[in-house]
Amino acid sequence: MPSLAAQQIDSIHAMLASGQRSLRLERHSLVLWGVCFGGLIALSNHIITAQQIPDPTQRALAWLGLMSVVLGTVSLLDWALTRRAKHARDEFWSFIHRQVLKVWWLLLAAGVLATFATFFYGGGYLVYPLWLVLVGLGLYVHGLFSEQAVEWAGGLLIAFGVCAALFRLDVNTLQCLAASAFGLGLPLLAALLERGEVRPVWLRAANLLLWLAVVLGAPLLAQHLADASQPAPAPLRSLEQWEHAPLQRQAVRLPAGLTVPVRFDVSGDLFAPSAASVLPLVLRRPVEVLAEDGRLTGAWRYPDGRWRGEPLPAAILVSDLRAELQPNAGAQVHARLHVSMTARDAP
């Protein structure tokens, strides 16, 4: 008798749980969105770049159009496949499912507009953390009405985005993390969905640890391989030697105290373009750069350090900008500029 009563109580709990988590997140949805997000992030360094479209306004519009078309197409495809799957199971669109979809589309629209705005107002470093947080919020809301695994995965994506910005990971690591979280994490999550099965807590925890190992292992492995792959040795020469007799491939040391002119392409409705728009900056410490055929390869290092492949410089922040008018100096614009070699050095 106690056994029968326990079975009845378990059945009641299962019915209550199924009623509370009535939304069914289809596996094909996670696969489609994972491939979409992961593909866009992986190809972002090769399509619609500054070399292909120098004008930032045109580049921003191109990215806006690409993201709108890709995300819109995937949304329609996801809708059609979900509708077919529900029709095959003789199910209907619940009120909760329709509202959750509206939240998902709203989050996608916010991500697209925020990415578009970074071309004009800065903050491009936060694009990957932003998308991690937005997609994580979407999954978390889905998980509240479907399965705990989706809820947990959404919370972890939010944590990834916040921690990535908090600890100031470099851009390459951010890109690998976001591509792995979407391109690998979402399809793997689709494979781990329970679909109404009652699984013990230890098995759910094991699945979560597996998901974490795959999502975090891929960028860690990529970072390790990138750090291990150093350029072939090249003769080290001073800047004067390079200017007089440049070699086909060489490392050039820029000494501390060197004045480096930074040229600005000025646009807008206040200042006119001028050849004198040059800001002379002085190196605080020596830096070595790798040059091939008279061009920089993008690799740099501090003396006796490891070669790095991040952009040079990695972060430029204008924290203060104000206009001044003085009797002796005339009209001036005072700016507080912070230039760092790595994102971790940013204030």
Residues 202-239: tens digit of each pLDDT? 888 888 899 999 999 988 888 788 777 778 888 888 88
In terms of C-beta density within 10 A (0-12 exposed, 13-18 middle, 19 or more buried), how is residue 131 classed?
Answer: buried
- Name the least confident of 15-19, 175-179, 245-249: 15-19
Does residue 118 surpass a pLDDT of 50?
Answer: yes
pTM for this predicted structure: 0.80
Q: What is the mean pLDDT of the chain?
A: 85
- Name the least confident of 63-77, 79-93, 265-279, 302-316: 302-316
* Whole-number Å distance between alpha carbons of 49 and 46: 6
Task: Print the SS3 string covering the chain.
Answer: CHHHHHHHHHHHHHHHHHHHCCCCCCHHHHHHHHHHHHHHHHHCCCCCCCCCCCCHHHHHHHHHHHHHHHHHHHHHHHHHHHHHHHHHCCCCCCHHHHHHHHHHHHHHHHHHHHHHHHHHHCCHHHHHHHHHHHHHHHHHHHHHHCCHHHHHHHHHHHHHHHHHHHCCCCHHHHHHHHHHHHHHHHHHHHHHCCCCCCCCHHHHHHHHHHHHHHHHHHHHHHHHHHHHCCCCCCCEEEHHHHHHCCCCEEEEEECCCCEEEEECCCCCCCCCCCCCCEEEEECCCCEEEEEECCEEEEEEECCCCCCECCCCCCEEEEEEEEEEEECCCEEEEEEEEEEECCHHHCC
pLDDT tier at 8 (50, 70, 90 boundaries)?
Answer: low
Among 290, 34, 59, 311, smallest CA distance to 172 is for: 311
- Name the least confident of 22-31, 176-185, 279-288, 316-325: 316-325
Say which residues have a Cβ less than 8 Å from residue 327's Cβ, sequence separation at least 6: none
| pLDDT of the residue at 130 | 96
- Name the least confident of 124-133, 152-161, 201-210: 201-210
Give percent above pLDDT 70 in the chain. 88
- Name the least confident of 7-16, 22-31, 49-58, 119-128: 7-16
| pLDDT of the residue at 3 | 66
Residue 309: CA atoms inside 13 Å, Cβ hemisphere, count?
11
The whole-number average pLDDT for the span 264-282 is 80
- Among the ranges 56-70, 161-175, 219-233, 243-257, which has the highest mean pLDDT value? 56-70
Q: What is the pLDDT of residues 71-81, one digit of tens each?
A: 999 999 999 99
Q: What is the pLDDT of residues 274-288, one digit of tens each?
A: 777 788 888 888 998
| pLDDT of the residue at 16 | 45
Domain ranges for the chain: 9-228, 233-304, 313-347
| pLDDT of the residue at 15 | 46
- Name the least confident of 177-191, 206-220, 290-304: 290-304
